[in-house]
Structure 1
Amino acid sequence: MADYDVIIIGSGPGGYVCAIRCAQLGLKTAVVEGRETLGGTCLNVGCIPSKALLHASHQLHEAEHNFAKMGLKGKSPSVDWAQMLSYKSDVVETNTKGVEFLFKKNKIDWLKGWGSIPAAGKVKVGEDTHNAKHIIIASGSEASSIPGAEVTIDEKIVVTSTGALELGKVPRSLVVVGGGVIGLELGSVYSRLGAEVTVVEYMDGITPGADAEVARQLQKILTKQGLKFVTGAAVSKVETLKNKARVSYTLRKGDSTAEIDADVVLVATGRAPYTEGLGLDALGVTLSKRGQIEVDGGYATNVPGIYAIGDVIDGPMLAHKAEDEGMALAEMLAGQKPHVNYGVIPGVIYTHPEVASVGQTEEQLKEEGRAYKVGKFSFMGNGRAKANFAADGFVKIIADKETDRILGAHIIGPAAGDLIHEVCVAMEFGAAAEDLARTCHAHPTYSEAVREAALACGDGAIHA
């Protein structure tokens, strides 16, 4: 008889959510985690601590730029970096202890240590081997380096996102290699704190894959905030020179080469699946060329009884995507028939303003040859946004030209990460833009901009 119905390797958002759902459905569950705290990369060195620093640095920005306009006068606050890091650590501790409480509440065993799978149905943690009917790999991802470049990461001068959350002091200058979500968020933090930030991006624009109009607007706004951008640049080397780093790159158009020196270089060129030490090669688990675990529609690998979810499999590396897969797999193992709608998974960039998207972009629809219409509304027409000095940006809703069914939405503006979910729910129910337009929205709220964009898909917005 198996020790457990389910053993999950990894306690990040995919793993711990899957474990809780398994336990709720009556499955005897254990989670393997080698960190001293639960929550994986997201809670410990990813989503949560970065949002704490974004929040703190945004408050500083408000004090420096907007308080006096509202009649809040006085000396601008100074930055106590040690205290800010302590605040960040407190936020992390609160969240990780919360997951530990949920494990106890749901009678989930925490198998402390790093796990491997010596054979189907067996998980080894330290010297102990545990039996399980089902083994779920939810080991997440790790920072990847720059393809084809010479890079040595020491997490002090040349850092990944992990080191960037623990710098000894705010650098005077920071080069960010990579203009994606992680680079822009952490670049924004240090720019607000006084660093001179330069973002070096291989593509011709930032946030590759995002709606092109939103990406251009975001780059324009961040430039006004003081960030500098070098796009179309292939980085060949990142080297440490005593107490600073040097980034060497070649501009793809024209082949000219250049160098930038900085106190710190953040390498933010994406993440790769983390499967080291699991023993997948010996088991014969099939991996893709990108190192992802290949699974079927039920998250099963080619080895019976072994499953995988989250960052280790194909799809966007997002905590909430992993959570949905974790819940769906738990329900499948309990005999239910859940479904994850991969067409309605939102993405958010927590800069200021925030950027959020769901569904398809105009570029994708043009490539497909699908007829569509666009409704757009600027936050300049939103009373709440203007009152809060947050009128940069817009809401864009894309709908099918014939049926009016919502195909996607792209928001750059205040609280975009919260506003996008109204559109997610609408899309989940197959709603038309008119359905959103005819839904009463409270005034004055940022959400009225979503309604106005939906109205713009029809006869036109009211406040445009």
Structure 2
Amino acid sequence: MHTPLVVLGGGPGGYAAAFLAADEGLDVTIVEAEPRLGGTCLLRGCIPSKALLHVARVIGEVDELREDWGVSYDDRPRIDVDAVRARKDKVIDNLTGGLGNLAKRRGVTVIRARGSFIDSTTMKLEGDDPSIPDDGQLTFDHCILATGSVPAMPPAFDIGSDKVMDSTGALALADIPENLLVIGGGYIGLEMGSVYAGLGSKVTVVELAEGLLPGADRDLVKPLAKRIEKLLEGRVYLNTKVGSIAEAEDGRIEVTFEGPGRFGHERFDRVLVSIGRRPVTKGLGLENTQVVVNQRGFVECDAQQRTADPHILAIGDVAGDPMLAHKATHEGRVAAEVVAGKPAAFDKAAIPAVVFTDPEIAWAGLTQEEARREGRNVDVAIYPWAASGRAQALGRTEGLTKWLIDPETQRVLGCGIVGVGAGELIAEAALAIEMGCEAGDISETVHAHPTMSETLMNSAEVFFGTATEIYKPKRKPAAVAE
């Protein structure tokens, strides 16, 4: 069995690459071990987590009406876990079914099998799909490697209990535990912790670093950290290490803590380990090819997604940070065009990142943390949402919008937003950075009022000292050397 192009992995990068390659006239085969297309993002990541976050967010909004708006309800909402789980699964089914239909309409062959490399142009297929040839081998001219990533689970935490979960287990929503420990204050831990807290669990978060969301700008994290502290009633412990995990005689999970805020033993009904993800590059037979895998487990590739093996390209999580579905999709399209003989390359000025907590955090382009590490001189223009009429009307004034601007050229280099709907707002910033816009392009673009999108314009106005709702001395023009 031979195919000109095989895509190993049917996630958002893999199916995007396969579909575009088919649109370009190539004969394409997807090899995917899962029974459905969609990968981690659709089956047990981005989509199901956002469906559950929606539920938690609406419950939170009801609580806000009680606390701040004089609207009262008789009692707390009653959670039907089976119904919530079924609704989440229905969303997944609808989307995966659509992908299957799109593959058929494009003439893309989908083989349900686990694929591994025998050599640079031959793949071994293992599974019970009747389309697998008798010899279990598939030869190809080119392969796009799109095997994604899996949750990292330290051996010390892997005690063989289903009560110690990774993100996949947490999204299965087996029950709503009375007490849940989240190990890791990154975006996955905070998102899932918010879900379970919204559904009624008593959630505790422990983070080894000195702050939540390590790597994100501190001014963006601060409003979220304050709200998380309130949501979890202060059960957020920083600079704290989890020493050991064991199953106690009562069936609960006993955890030892080592830190200034928390020290000693405590028992939980469930524990979520969310300390990052690792690329899936082991067990694929890559050692039988010329592909180079670095010490972190990522496949080395160039701007055209080509690896050191002329027959193999790599995209998505296996191709390096950031591990984001939208980055995988764009890399997949580049790889497909390269295989089709087009002069494509992945050269993005901004890859937006979003933390779907409440409030959301989003950023694109250069961050303040990066500018500080690199010693880059930038102007930071911040517009506090307390000055926004829309934010005041929503009762959510804790947010802010900021631009990072080159002081010489006035070109926008980065943007950070924290607040309700930040994930939707960041798209304008990504476009502006990608187009090389100047701050004046943003400030002079008419934005609808009253909206949160205005804060992007207002933040640019802060740079010039012309923001209407806040006072900041007008920016002086740069001196001209004589």
Kindly provide the amino acid, as one letter, of the partner of residue 198 in structure 2: R
Kindly provide the amino acid, as one letter, of the partner of residue 365 in structure 1: A
Task: Tell me how far apart the structure 1 counterparts of residues 327 and 41 of structure 2 sit (CA, whole Å).
Answer: 13
Comparing 211-220 with 446-455, greater Cα deviation is found at 211-220
Counterpart residue number, 1:131: 139
Following TM superposition, by how much is the alpha carbon of 1:284 offset from its aligned partner in structure 2, in angstroms? Answer: 4.7
Partner-residue secondary structure (3-state), 1:169: coil
Matching of residues 383-394 of structure 1 within 5 Å = 383-394=389-400
Task: Tell me how far apart the structure 2 counterparts of residues 236 and 308 of structure 1 sit (CA, whole Å).
Answer: 37
Structure 2 alignment gaps of length 5 or more: 127-134, 471-482
Kindly provide the amino acid, as one letter, of the partner of residue 458 in structure 2: E
Counterpart residue number, 2:150: 142
Task: Confirm whether residue 310 of structure 1 aligns to residue 316 of structure 2.
Answer: yes
Task: Tell me how far apart the structure 1 counterparts of residues 289 and 372 of structure 2 sit (CA, whole Å).
Answer: 43
Matching of residues 267-278 of structure 1 within 5 Å = 267-278=273-284
Following TM superposition, by how much is the alpha carbon of 1:72 offset from its aligned partner in structure 2, in angstroms? Answer: 5.9
Task: Tell me how far apart the structure 2 counterparts of residues 123 and 282 of structure 1 sit (CA, whole Å).
Answer: 10
Counterpart residue number, 1:362: 368
Matching of residues 165-176 of structure 1 within 5 Å = 165-176=171-182
Following TM superposition, by how much is the alpha carbon of 1:67 offset from its aligned partner in structure 2, in angstroms? Answer: 6.3
Matching of residues 334-345 of structure 1 within 5 Å = 334-345=340-351
Counterpart residue number, 2:41: 42
Following TM superposition, by how much is the alpha carbon of 1:69 offset from its aligned partner in structure 2, in angstroms? Answer: 5.8
Following TM superposition, by how much is the alpha carbon of 1:71 offset from its aligned partner in structure 2, in angstroms? Answer: 7.2
Kept after mapping to 1: 8 A contact 2:183/2:189: yes
Kept after mapping to 2: 8 A contact 1:3/1:130: yes
Deviations 1:373-423 (A, max 9, x none): 111112222222222233221111111112111111110011100100101
Counterpart residue number, 1:99: 99
Task: Tell me how far apart the structure 2 counterparts of residues 196 and 74 of structure 1 sit (CA, whole Å).
Answer: 22
Partner-residue secondary structure (3-state), 1:363: helix
Comparing 194-203 with 320-329, greater Cα deviation is found at 194-203
Counterpart among 217, 233, 238 of residue 211 in structure 1:
217
Partner-residue secondary structure (3-state), 1:243: coil
Q: Relative to 1, partners in 2 of residues 1:257 and 1:67: Cα closer, same or farther, differing over 3 Å?
A: closer
Kept after mapping to 2: 8 A contact 1:179/1:206: yes
Task: Confirm whether residue 243 of structure 1 aligns to residue 242 of structure 2.
Answer: no
Kindly provide the amino acid, as one letter, of the partner of residue 105 in structure 1: R
Kept after mapping to 2: 8 A contact 1:153/1:160: no
Task: Tell me how far apart the structure 2 counterparts of residues 109 and 71 of structure 1 sit (CA, whole Å).
Answer: 58
Identity of aligned residues (%): 37
Task: Confirm whether residue 289 of structure 1 aligns to residue 295 of structure 2.
Answer: yes
Deviations 1:26-51 (A, max 9, x none): 11111011111110111001111000
Counterpart residue number, 2:64: 65
Comparing 160-169 with 229-238, greater Cα deviation is found at 229-238
Structure 1 alignment gaps of length 5 or more: none
Counterpart residue number, 1:12: 11
Deviations 1:126-175 (A, max 9, x none): 353222110111000011124xx621254621000000012321111111
Task: Tell me how far apart the structure 1 counterparts of residues 312 and 224 of structure 2 sit (CA, whole Å).
Answer: 42
Task: Tell me how far apart the structure 2 counterparts of residues 153 and 290 of structure 1 sit (CA, whole Å).
Answer: 24
Kindly provide the amino acid, as one letter, of the partner of residue 266 in structure 2: I
Following TM superposition, by how much is the alpha carbon of 1:24 offset from its aligned partner in structure 2, in angstroms? Answer: 1.0
Q: Relative to 1, partners in 2 of residues 1:153 and 1:380: Cα closer, same or farther, differing over 3 Å?
A: farther
Matching of residues 24-43 of structure 1 within 5 Å = 24-43=23-42
Counterpart residue number, 2:110: 110
Task: Tell me how far apart the structure 1 counterparts of residues 67 and 224 of structure 2 sit (CA, whole Å).
Answer: 26
State TM-score, norm by structure 1.
Answer: 0.94
Task: Tell me how far apart the structure 2 counterparts of residues 334 and 243 of structure 1 sit (CA, whole Å).
Answer: 56
Kept after mapping to 1: 8 A contact 2:120/2:288: no
Deviations 1:347-385 (A, max 9, x none): 000011111001122222123222211111122222222
Cα-Cα RMSD: 1.9
Following TM superposition, by how much is the alpha carbon of 1:301 offset from its aligned partner in structure 2, in angstroms? Answer: 2.0
Deviations 1:66-122 (A, max 9, x none): 268667654443111111011110011111111111111211110111111112222
Comparing 264-273 with 211-220, greater Cα deviation is found at 211-220
